[in-house]
């Protein structure tokens, strides 16, 4: 099997594997070769080739032992290669969390989301690059070369799922899971020209309810921010993986995408308002604005009603979000000798978090709960909300880390000012590429949905891509 003859989509890979046209061992070998060929992208921290080959051999043995008439009952993602960002445990692989200051234990078992995908037949090929502790919207750390954007390797692919996004955009894996606590699926998707779905809180069963995430609020009472979702090159591929992440018996999200042409008549708000505007100058670049205008035109041609909306956000949001986002660092167990090995931004924000009282963290959490209730009411007057994606092209590698901690954080907020508010709200949102610029860079938009609106968001993404 050659690269020229390989399937072009994750669904095509899945279908070829389930029909036996390609063996799991062939699929794994193909993508391991791709990873080796594009090592300069820094997408992977660890490649677990032997584990993947063993899993592929087992998948092929299962296929051979299954009568042809029963192969429809094979796991839905039978033999499909993927990868997992290195904030998440994969059995037999070290978990670095992108940090030189922490130990890198080898996981004895899979995290719940990985276990669900493995049960669905997916084969992890390794662990992808992340920023330290997943804190930033770029994927650079002190333990490995930075992840680079396949559309322009001088620029960041975003973060914290940046390694996974780079791997998918460069065809090192066909599709992959990410996690999103402030934009960590959507930012890399927008930077790399991918579709990235941040489901609503609780839509993916493994995201909370465990000892690590027992409720919809964190220990300080702030809304729980992080959820799991798919990164993919198309809405259909994203829907296929989302169905698997949810452990769905059928494929309702994929069925919805295939019926996307029937969706019409939605009332969609259009806004450039950001809650970070009270703290930072939010300047939407011409490429970002053109992408938003293009999206509006395409959706209007589909029969949707696009309306300008004047949303008003709490001016205290930037401080409350930053406080809550970094509050967990006050609980980070760290030897004094290890602190100097933290990245400068992590070290600065941890120092501040440790200095704050639990009461201060709780006040920030309470303010975010109020913010969540307010925006859910404002956005709830519409079927969906359309915002720009990123305000400008992805910054160059080193642009963030060359700054002090506060300016690093400021640049992140100015580049991606529309994502974190959706995590606070608990609602679903999707990042969709809309334009490919003459330079090769991608620009896209974000669409925010209602509770339970993930399928509708995937349909809207499919409509945007089909134009």
Cα separations in angstroms, 126 against 67, 195, 240, 286: 31, 21, 21, 38
Instruction: Count the neighbouring beta carbons within 10 Å of the beta carbon of residue 13.
Output: 24
For residues 423 and 429, give the distance between their C-alpha atoms in angstroms, rounded to a whole number: 9
Q: Is 425 a catalytic residue?
A: no
Instruction: Count the neighbouring beta carbons within 10 Å of the beta carbon of residue 64.
Output: 9
Cα separations in angstroms, 395 against 154, 402, 452: 9, 12, 34
State whether the Cα torsion 47-48-54-59 is positive or negative: negative
Which residue in the block uniquely carries the two structure tokens 């949810």?
246
Catalytic pick among 99, 184, 274, 330: 184
**Quick check: 149 and 385 in contact, CB under 8 A?**
no
Instruction: Count the neighbouring beta carbons within 10 Å of the beta carbon of residue 12.
Output: 15
> Across 86-226, where does the E strand assignment appear?
123-128, 176-180, 195-198
For residues 227 and 107, give the distance between their C-alpha atoms in angstroms, rounded to a whole number: 21
For residues 360 and 372, give the distance between their C-alpha atoms in angstroms, rounded to a whole number: 19
Dihedral, 420, 425, 426, 429 alpha carbons, nearest 10: -60
Dihedral, 377, 380, 384, 387 alpha carbons, nearest 10: -10
Q: Are strands 267-270 and 384-388 parallel, antiparallel or unpaired?
A: parallel
Task: Please list the alpha-helical segments (H only) found in 38-152.
Answer: 49-65, 112-119
Q: Which of 90, 113, 96 is nearest to 45 (CA)?
A: 96
Q: Is there a cis peptide before residue 160, judged by omega within 30 degrees of 0?
A: yes
Q: Which of 369, 363, 399, 424 is nearest to 156 (CA)?
A: 399
Catalytic pick among 85, 99, 161, 420: 85
For residues 9 and 235, give the distance between their C-alpha atoms in angstroms, rounded to a whole number: 11
Q: Is 160 a catalytic residue?
A: yes
Catalytic pick among 23, 99, 139, 160: 160
**Residue numbers annotated as active site:** 85, 160, 184
């Amino acid at each position: 099997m050659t690269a020229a003859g390989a399937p072009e989509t994750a669904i095509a890979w899945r279908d070829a594997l389930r029909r036996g046209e390609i063996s799991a061992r062939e699929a794994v070998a193909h993508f391991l070769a791709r990873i080796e060929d594009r090592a300069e992208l820094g997408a992977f921290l660890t490649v677990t080739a032997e584990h993947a080959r063993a899993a592929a051999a087992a998948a092929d043995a299962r296929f051979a032992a299954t009568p042809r008439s029963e192969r429809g009952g094979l796991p839905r993602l039978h033999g499909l290669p993927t990868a997992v960002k290195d904030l998440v445990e994969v059995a037999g692989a070290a978990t670095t969390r992108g940090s030189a200051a922490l130990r890198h234990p080898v996981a004895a078992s899979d995290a719940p989301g990985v276990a669900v995908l493995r049960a669905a037949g997916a084969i992890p090929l390794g662990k992808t690059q992340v920023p330290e502790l997943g804190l930033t919207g770029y994927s650079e750390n002190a333990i490995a070369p930075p992840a680079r954007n396949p559309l322009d390797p001088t620029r960041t692919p975003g973060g914290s799922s940046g390694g996974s996004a780079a791997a998918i955009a460069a065809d090192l894996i066909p599709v992959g899971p990410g996690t999103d606590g402030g934009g960590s699926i959507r930012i890399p998707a927008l930077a790399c020209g991918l579709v990235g779905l941040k489901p609503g809180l609780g839509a993916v069963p493994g995201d909370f309810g465990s000892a690590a995430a027992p409720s919809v609020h964190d220990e300080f009472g702030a809304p729980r921010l992080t959820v799991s979702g798919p990164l993919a090159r198309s809405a259909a591929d994203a829907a296929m993986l989302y169905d698997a992440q949810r452990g769905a018996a059928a494929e309702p999200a994929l069925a919805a995408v295939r019926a996307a042409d029937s969706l019409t008549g939605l009332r969609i708000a259009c806004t450039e308002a950001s809650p970070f505007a009270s703290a930072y100058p939010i300047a939407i670049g011409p490429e970002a604005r053109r992408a938003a205008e293009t999206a509006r035109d395409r959706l209007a041609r589909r029969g949707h009603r696009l309306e300008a909306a004047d949303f008003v956000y709490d001016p205290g949001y930037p401080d409350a979000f930053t406080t809550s986002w970094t509050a967990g660092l006050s609980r980070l167990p760290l030897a004094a000798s290890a602190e100097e090995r933290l990245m400068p931004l992590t070290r600065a924000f941890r120092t501040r978090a440790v200095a704050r009282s639990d009461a201060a963290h709780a006040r920030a959490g309470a303010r975010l709960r109020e913010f969540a209730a307010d925006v859910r009411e404002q956005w709830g007057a519409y079927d969906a909300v359309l915002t720009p994606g990123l305000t400008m092209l992805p910054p160059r590698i080193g642009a963030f880390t060359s700054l002090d901690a506060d300016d690093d954080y400021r640049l992140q907020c100015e580049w991606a000012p529309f994502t974190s508010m959706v995590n606070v709200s608990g609602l679903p949102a999707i990042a969709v590429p809309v334009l490919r610029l003459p330079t090769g860079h991608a620009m896209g938009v974000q669409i925010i949905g209602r509770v339970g609106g993930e399928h509708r968001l995937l349909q809207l993404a499919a409509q945007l891509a089909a134009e």
